[in-house]
Structure 1
Amino acid sequence: MAHIDKNNVLEILGKKVLPGTGAVINLNMAKLYTTTSVEVPVIIERSKKPGPVVLLTAGIHGDEINGVEIVRQVISKNINKPVKGTIICIPVVNVFGFLNMKREFPDGRDLNRVFPGTKNGSLASRFAFQFVKKILPVADFCLDFHISGASRFNVAQVRVLKGDEKSMKFAHIFNAPFTIYSKTIGKSYRETCYKLGKMVLLFEGGKSMDSNREIARLGVEGTMRILKHLGMLKPRFEIEDPPTQTNIIENSTWMRAKYSGLLHVKIECGRRVERGEYIATITDPYGKFRHKVIAPHEGFIINVNESPIVYQGDAIFHLSTPARPKEEADEG
C-alpha cells in the first residue's frame, strides 16, 4: 500500500520516491491477448518540503480527451512541480479505452461504475481494486477530470455534494463557471474517494472525442488556484480569479425532443435563457416539418446535445431550474 514514512519518503507501486525528486512509475493494468503488458504511467513530482499529496486523474473514460489535455498541460508547463508536498498525475487512467477511443474497458464495463473494485472480479474491477489499494491511500486531495458522453457538450463545471461545506469551499477556489450540486454515483471513483475520507473535486467540461481549448484552459487555471491555495504553486505562475464567481446550480432538468429529426441549436452552452425563448429547431429532412424548441422557464443551459440528428425523447438541453420560494419549498 502506498504511504509516506517518517522520513518523508514516498513508497508507491513498490518504488521509493525521495523528497525533492520525481519519478515515472508504471502501474501494470493487464496484458493484451499477445501477452504484451498494458501499463498506466504515474507521474510523480515531490518537493523537499513536506506537504499535501494532490492526485490529478483523467481518462477514466477512454474517449474523454479534454481531461487528458488538462493534466497533460499541467505536466508540460511544470505546474506539477510543487513548492511543498507531492503532486501525482495520471493523465490516462483507462489506457485500454484511450487506445480504442471508447469509454469502456475491453470487458465492456464502465470503469467509473466498478470502484472500489474486487481482487478477483472482472478486468475493470481488478484494475479499480489495484488503483484503490496501491495509489489512492497516499492522496490527500483528488482532482478528477471528466467530459460529457456522446455528442452532449457540458459547460465547464465542478460537482459537489449538497451540504458538503468543505467541497463547496474548494469549488469556490477552483471557480469554474458553474458549480453543480450532484449526488455521488454508486461505485464511482468520486464516491469511493468520499468513503475513504479523501477530499475530491470532479470537473466536467466539453464532450467526448473532442479537444476544446477553452475547457482545457478553465481546467488548468482551476487546478492552479487549488494548488496556490494549498501553498504548492510556484510563485512564477500567476493566476487570478475570473471577473465573476462560479454560478451555483442547485436543481436542473432535462429537456427532451418532442419529435425526431434534424436538430438545429440556436444558443451556446452556458448561456442564461428566459422563459419562452426560442433555443432550437427540429426539422424533417424534406423541408415539410419545422418545430421550434422553446425554453420552459428561465435558467442556465448547462448541457447541449450537439448531435445533428435526434430521436423523440432524446435529451437535447440540460437546463437549471429556478429556486422555489422558501414558503413553497417548505410545503408538504
Structure 2
Amino acid sequence: MKEVKIAGQLIQPGEFKEIDINIARLPSHTVIDTPIYVSRGFEDGPVLALTAGMHGDEINGMEIVRRLLDSGLHQPKRGVTVCMPIVNVYGFLNYSRDVPDGKDINRSFPGTKNGSLASRVAYNLMQEVVPFIDYGIDFHTGGAMRANYPQVRAVLRDEKNMALANAFNAPFTIDSPFRPNSLRKEAYRKGKNIIVYEGGESLRFDQHAIEEGIAGTLRLMKYLDMIDWAPEPTQENKVIWSSSWIRAKNAGLFQSNVKCGQLVHKGEWVGTITDPFGEFKEQVVATETGYVVGLNNIPVINAGDALMHLGMDNLCKLDNMSPD
C-alpha cells in the first residue's frame, strides 16, 4: 500500500489520528493549535479534505464536519479523509469572519511563514495539508446576515470540478470563478480540485443546509469510491451559469415576499421597502427570472444594499431573452 503522510505524520491503514498544527500564541501566551482529524481506510484510495470555519463565524460548515466525525461517517473504506472543523480558531473565539488584525484567511493564500496572522494560517494549510490531498470540500455560509440556499460553487469549465459538483448534487451548482488568493484557487494551481459548499448564514444553524452538506459529502465520497452507500438527493440539481443582485433603490425597512430557493419571474413583486414613519412604501420587483440563491435577512437597509441574489440556469436565461 502507498505511504500516506499528513502534516508530517505517517497514517497507517485503518488508523484514525488527531494532529495539532501550531499556528501562534494569543497575547495571553495561550497556544493556538488547528486540529486535524485524519482517518484512513484499509484500502488505497483518494485523499479528501473537508475544511470548515475558514471564516470563524460560519458555523454550519463546522457542524457538518462535526456530525460526520461524531457519527463515524467520515471513515472511508478506501482512501483517506482529512477533517478540519475549524481552520480559523481566532475568528471562532471572537464570533468573527476574520482574524484579529482584520484580514481574511481566504484572501491570504498561499501565505507566508513570517507574514500576517492570516497569511501564516494560510501558509500552514498550504504546507501541511494541501500537498497531500487529491480533492477537497471547503464549507462556507452566507455572510453579513445573508442566507445562501444550499449550493456548490466551482469553475465548471474544469471537467473534474463539474464531476465533483454533479456527484455532490446540491440543490444548486453555481459556476463561480476563482477568487484571488483563495484556498480554492491556490490549491488548483497545485493540481488539487476543491469545491466550495455554501449553506445558511453566519452565526446561525440552518438544519436544512447542514443536512444537505452531509448528504452531498457522502455522495461525493461514494463517487470517489471511498464508501459504498450514500443518500439519494431530495431535490433536483440546477446548474446556475450566471447571477445578478437585486439592490435597494432607497433606504428603509425591507420585507421579503419570497423564500430562499424559490423561482421568481421577471417583474414579479418580491418584497417591500418602507420607512419607519409610514411616509412611503416601495415595491421591489425582480429584474430577471431566476432562483433566489441568496437572501438578505437584515430588515434595516441602505440604498444600494443587496437584497437578494438571483441565479439563472439555461431555462431562466431563455425566459429573460424573450420579449415581455
Q: C-alpha separation between the residues in 2 aligned to 1:289 and 1:198?
A: 53
4+ aligned runs moved over 3 Å, structure 1: none
Q: C-alpha separation between the residues in 1 aligned to 2:16 and 2:295?
A: 41
Q: Any residues of structure 2 matched to 1:65-84 within 5 Å, and which?
A: 65-84=59-78
Residue in 1 aligned with 2:298? 307
Residue 323 of structure 1 aligns to a residue whose secondary structure is helix
Question: Once the 2 structures are TM-superposed, how far is the Cα of residue 129 of structure 1 from its aligned partner?
Answer: 0.9
Residue in 1 aligned with 2:282? 291
Within the candidate set 42, 50, 58, 1:48 is matched to 42
Question: Once the 2 structures are TM-superposed, how far is the Cα of residue 238 of structure 1 from its aligned partner?
Answer: 4.5
Residue 110 of structure 2 aligns to a residue whose secondary structure is coil
Residue 214 of structure 1 aligns to a residue whose secondary structure is helix
Q: Which runs of 5 or more structure 2 residues have no equivalent in the other structure?
A: none
Question: In the alignment, does 2:103 pair up with 1:109?
Answer: yes
Question: In the alignment, does 2:163 pair up with 1:169?
Answer: yes
Aligned length: 318
Change (3 A) 1:238 1:178: closer
Residue in 1 aligned with 2:232? 240
Residue 300 of structure 1 aligns to a residue whose secondary structure is strand
Over the aligned positions, Cα root-mean-square deviation in angstroms equals: 1.6
Question: In the alignment, does 2:147 pair up with 1:153?
Answer: yes
Q: Indicate if the aligned counterparts of 1:257 and 1:313 stay in contact, CA closer than 8 A.
A: yes
Q: Indicate if the aligned counterparts of 1:275 and 1:296 stay in contact, CA closer than 8 A.
A: yes
Residue in 2 aligned with 1:179? 173
Residue in 1 aligned with 2:246? 255
Q: C-alpha separation between the residues in 1 aligned to 2:234 and 2:255?
A: 31
Within the candidate set 21, 27, 31, 2:21 is matched to 27
Question: Which letter does structure 2 place at the counterpart of 1:102?
Answer: S
Q: Indicate if the aligned counterparts of 1:255 and 1:316 stay in contact, CA closer than 8 A.
A: yes
Q: C-alpha separation between the residues in 1 aligned to 2:218 and 2:311?
A: 28
Question: Once the 2 structures are TM-superposed, how far is the Cα of residue 36 of structure 1 from its aligned partner?
Answer: 1.5
Q: C-alpha separation between the residues in 2 aligned to 1:50 and 1:112?
A: 31
Q: C-alpha separation between the residues in 2 aligned to 1:59 and 1:210?
A: 13
Question: Which letter does structure 1 place at the counterpart of 2:160?
Answer: K
Change (3 A) 1:102 1:82: same
Question: In the alignment, does 2:94 pair up with 1:100?
Answer: yes
Question: Which letter does structure 2 place at the counterpart of 1:53?
Answer: V
Q: Indicate if the aligned counterparts of 1:148 and 1:208 stay in contact, CA closer than 8 A.
A: yes
Q: Any residues of structure 2 matched to 1:176-255 within 5 Å, and which?
A: 176-233=170-227, 235=228, 237-244=229-236, 246-255=237-246
Residue 194 of structure 2 aligns to a residue whose secondary structure is strand
Question: Once the 2 structures are TM-superposed, how far is the Cα of residue 86 of structure 1 from its aligned partner?
Answer: 0.7
Q: Indicate if the aligned counterparts of 1:9 and 1:16 stay in contact, CA closer than 8 A.
A: yes
Q: Indicate if the aligned counterparts of 1:9 and 1:19 stay in contact, CA closer than 8 A.
A: no
Q: C-alpha separation between the residues in 1 aligned to 2:26 and 2:235?
A: 49
Question: Which letter does structure 2 place at the counterpart of 1:241?
Answer: P
Question: Once the 2 structures are TM-superposed, how far is the Cα of residue 297 of structure 1 from its aligned partner?
Answer: 2.3
Question: Which letter does structure 1 place at the counterpart of 2:226?
Answer: M
Comparing 67-76 with 15-24, which one deviates more in the overlay? 15-24
Q: Which runs of 5 or more structure 1 residues have no equivalent in the other structure?
A: 1-6
Question: Which letter does structure 2 place at the counterpart of 1:82?
Answer: P
Q: Indicate if the aligned counterparts of 1:26 and 1:39 stay in contact, CA closer than 8 A.
A: yes
Question: Which letter does structure 1 place at the counterpart of 2:85?
Answer: P
Q: Indicate if the aligned counterparts of 1:8 and 1:19 stay in contact, CA closer than 8 A.
A: no
Q: C-alpha separation between the residues in 2 aligned to 1:166 and 1:87?
A: 19
Q: C-alpha separation between the residues in 1 aligned to 2:257 and 2:119?
A: 42
Change (3 A) 1:109 1:288: same
Q: Indicate if the aligned counterparts of 2:171 and 2:235 stay in contact, CA closer than 8 A.
A: no
Residue 50 of structure 1 aligns to a residue whose secondary structure is strand
Q: Indicate if the aligned counterparts of 1:257 and 1:315 stay in contact, CA closer than 8 A.
A: yes
Question: Once the 2 structures are TM-superposed, how far is the Cα of residue 50 of structure 1 from its aligned partner?
Answer: 1.2
Question: Once the 2 structures are TM-superposed, how far is the Cα of residue 324 of structure 1 from its aligned partner?
Answer: 5.6
Q: Compute the TM-score of the two structures, normalised by the length of structure 2.
A: 0.94
Residue 298 of structure 2 aligns to a residue whose secondary structure is coil
- Cα deviation, 1:202-252, whole Å, max 9, x if unaligned, reads 11111111110000000000000011111212x4x55113352x1111111
Within the candidate set 131, 141, 146, 1:137 is matched to 131
Q: C-alpha separation between the residues in 2 aligned to 1:81 and 1:278?
A: 47
Q: C-alpha separation between the residues in 1 aligned to 2:156 and 2:140?
A: 20
Residue 44 of structure 2 aligns to a residue whose secondary structure is coil
Residue in 1 aligned with 2:268? 277
Question: Once the 2 structures are TM-superposed, how far is the Cα of residue 8 of structure 1 from its aligned partner?
Answer: 3.3
Within the candidate set 11, 14, 25, 1:17 is matched to 11
Q: Indicate if the aligned counterparts of 1:8 and 1:18 stay in contact, CA closer than 8 A.
A: no
